[in-house]
Amino acid sequence: MSLFDILGPVMVGPSSSHTAGAVKIGYISRQLLGENIRKAQIDLHGSFLATGAGHGTDKALVAGLLGMKEDDIRIPDSFRIAREREMEICFGKVNLKNAHPNSVRLKLHGISGRELEIIASSIGGGQIKICKIDGLEANFSGDYPTLVVHNLDQPGHVTEVTSMLAHKGVNIATMQLYRNHRGGDAVMVIECDQEIPMASVEWLRRLEGITKVTYLSKIEKEEK
């Protein structure tokens, strides 16, 4: 445990879970989409829905989607900035089964037409968990470069991915495997110690049996 874990994040408040965690959820979701957002449907669950307005959760989520970090002084002005950037924001409510009270479902539409659905939770102290991506289990923190590979549940796909990482000198920190049923849809969630070359991510996207590849880079993307 570090001092940061005890004291919490450097942030614009008032709450590490409802504000700082919400900003991080929005920011990581934007990074996963990989481009600026044209439209975002934000559906709040549990405590995020009940008390989020008082903690600025709504503004914090939008700030993250705009590319702001937890300590950005512009967070309270995120609605205005979103309007200026012509980002369409819609809020709703949702009851997520077995979800943490501080949870949200984001349906994102990028400027190129790319789409992504995220369910994420703020679990305290500014820490978050990405729970689902496009309806499939994910369960990662967003603190490492993370590769999420959706594939058909067939032999060989795990080997293809791990062999590529080894060839590129990328060490695996954690790896999780999920599937909805035998022979159905599966997903690999791989947190790495190094960045993965984008050319290798694109190579994975072209493989037969790979249905979608999402990559979270920790290299900061320039705001536009």
Q: For 168-179, write each residue's pLDDT tens digit.
A: 999 999 999 998
Residue 35: left (phi > 0), alpha (psi -120 to 50), or beta? beta
Q: For 73-85, write each residue's pLDDT tens digit.
A: 999 999 999 999 9
Q: For 176-207, write each residue's pLDDT tens digit.
A: 999 888 989 999 999 999 999 999 999 999 99
pLDDT of 34: 86
* Whole-number Cα distances in Å, 163 to 146, 154, 202: 16, 16, 15
Tell me the sheet residues that pair with 103.
45, 121
Residue 12 predicted with pLDDT over 70: no
Mean pLDDT (whole number) for 11-26 = 72
Residue 218: left (phi > 0), alpha (psi -120 to 50), or beta? alpha
Out of 9-13, 63-67, 159-163, pick the least confident. 9-13
Q: Which one, of 215, 218, 221, 220, lies nearest residue 165 by Cα?
A: 215
Domains and CATH numbers, the chain: 3-133 (3.30.1330.90), 146-216 (3.30.70.260)
pTM of the model: 0.82
Q: State the Cα–Cα distance between residues 159 and 178, nearest whole angstrom.
A: 15
Per-residue pLDDT band for 58 (boundaries 50, 70, 90) equals: very high
Q: For 107-165, write each residue's pLDDT tens digit.
A: 999 999 999 999 999 998 788 999 999 888 888 999 999 999 999 999 999 999 999 99
Q: Which one, of 170, 156, 168, lies nearest residue 207 by Cα?
A: 156
